[in-house]
Amino acid sequence: MSTPPETVYSAQPIFSPTVSGTEPNPPAAHLSGKPDNPPWGVPSAVLTWFASIAFLFLVPNVCVLPYLVYRYQGLPALTQQELLADKTFVFLLVLSWVPAHLLTLALIWAVATRLGEYSIREVFGFSWSPDFGPWKSAGLAISLFLVAWLIASFFSAKPTDLDQILQSSRATALTLALLAVATAPLVEEMTYRGLLYSALQRLIGRWFAVVIVTSMFAGLHVWQYRQNIGAILSITLLSLVLTMIRARTGRLLPCFIIHLVFNGVQSLVIVFEPYLQALFNLWRHDAGSGVLICIWRNLV
């Protein structure tokens, strides 16, 4: 004797729906794993942000400590300027940003994916928007770099701490240029436009989140560029544009590519600056003979 097939009903959510943006840490049943409804709340994002800053301060200090003990044991305490004059110290300090960035990326992965429960590509939106692709991202990045260069050219400023680091040694400058492309854009975009913006926009709305994230990113760089108002304005502009694009597209990939290309242009300037400077000096010295003739004569 046959029996009718059993009707299957979909399970009802345990928690009743809430209005988006009114609950800082929504229950797991309400989380979609999408960039604008991420599986983390504001407390987790802020704590991760604090941890990323702590890594940048603590890890380098731990890494350079053996060298300081070996090199300066028994000597009076050194000032910041004296330490920055030590080329080996500065190189080790910059190199130690690598483990700091790697620790930050590991923490971001743990928080964003809930230790692998979600796809990091999905929760951050590592995909292209239909109206904002790679060419538009790269073009905007180059335009931003040119605008930043124009802003900086209007302000005369003392050398910043970063300028002193770049001038310390060629090895340090090249290492910093590599980090500016290899790890810094990914770490900063995942932290600010990834964790922080995604959680904040759900709680307080897109535009308040844009203002707060822009201010947090720019504010962290104020001390680094405190001697150069032009650099502060440029980094604020970059932060505003990146966060607005994140709000408009709902994706992190365009922001990452813009940041990557922006830093990449700066890194190319760092790498080729000595050669360009030598070429410029050569041109000034022998401008009457023509640049091409001058270059040819020095090559042969």
Q: What is the pLDDT of residues 125-174, one digit of tens each?
A: 999 988 899 999 999 999 999 999 898 888 866 777 788 888 889 999 99
Residues 91-114 have pLDDT tens digits of 999 999 999 999 999 999 999 999
| Residue 273: per-residue pLDDT | 83
**Distance between CA atoms of residues 147 and 31, nearest Å:** 39
Q: Which residue has the higher pLDDT, 276 or 239?
A: 239
Indicate yes or no: pTM above 0.75: yes
pLDDT above 70 coverage of the chain, percent: 83
From the list 109, 91, 107, the residue with the least C-alpha distance to 53 is: 107
* pLDDT for 227 beyond 70: yes
**17 class by beta-carbon count within 10 Å (0-12 exposed, 13-18 middle, 19+ buried):** exposed
How does residue 85 score in pLDDT terms, banded at 50, 70 and 90? confident
How many CB atoms within 10 Å of residue 75? 8
Chain-centre distance for alpha carbon 170: 23
pLDDT above 90 coverage of the chain, percent: 60
**Distance between CA atoms of residues 209 and 282, nearest Å:** 50
* pLDDT for 281 beyond 70: yes
